[in-house]
Amino acid sequence: MSEVIVYGADWCGDCRRSEALLKALNVEYEKRDVEQSAEYTEEARNISGRTNIPVILFADGKHLVEPSDPELHAELTIRGLI
């Protein structure tokens, strides 16, 4: 499993923003497009208990739903990914 998995969709502004931050910080991540896969949609819902995206899952099981850039940056820092 990747250190970071992003469940999202191309049309989602919050998803694009979170992915842009990950790219800017050179953090490798796996994208799981919920628009293209019912399985990924179900995984994201099971992780977060909600239908909001993005759901960002870390290898230790912690997840964020629709995080702000500062919130995502803080979690990446805590995990030593940046």
CATH H-level superfamily of 4-78: Glutaredoxin (3.40.30.10)
CA dihedral 14, 58, 39, 18 (to 10 degrees): 10
Per run of 10 residues, the mean pLDDT along the chain (length 82 residues) is: 93 98 98 97 97 97 98 97 96
What pLDDT is attached to residue 2?
Answer: 86
What pLDDT is attached to residue 54?
Answer: 98
Report how far residue 47's alpha carbon sits from residue 24's, in angstroms, rounded to the nearest whole number.
26
Map out the domains of the chain as residue ranges: 4-78
Helix (H, G, I), strand (E, B) or coil at 6: strand
